[in-house]
Amino acid sequence: MKKALTCNLCSGEMQLYTGPRFNKKFGSVLFVGGILSTLFWIGPVLGVPLMLIGGYMVSAKRQLWVCRECHTAIERIEVGSETKAAETKKEE
List pLDDT tens digits, range 7-52.
888 888 888 888 888 888 999 999 999 988 888 767 778 888 989 9
**Helix ranges, 1-92 (H):** 24-40, 44-59, 81-91
Q: Which residues contact 24 (CB under 8 A, 6 or more apart)?
A: 57, 58
- Sheet with 61-67, side-by-side order of all strands: 14-20, 61-67, 73-75
- Left if phi > 0, otherwise alpha if psi is -120 to 50, otherwise beta: which for 3? beta
Write out pLDDT tens, residues 75-90: 777 777 655 555 555 5
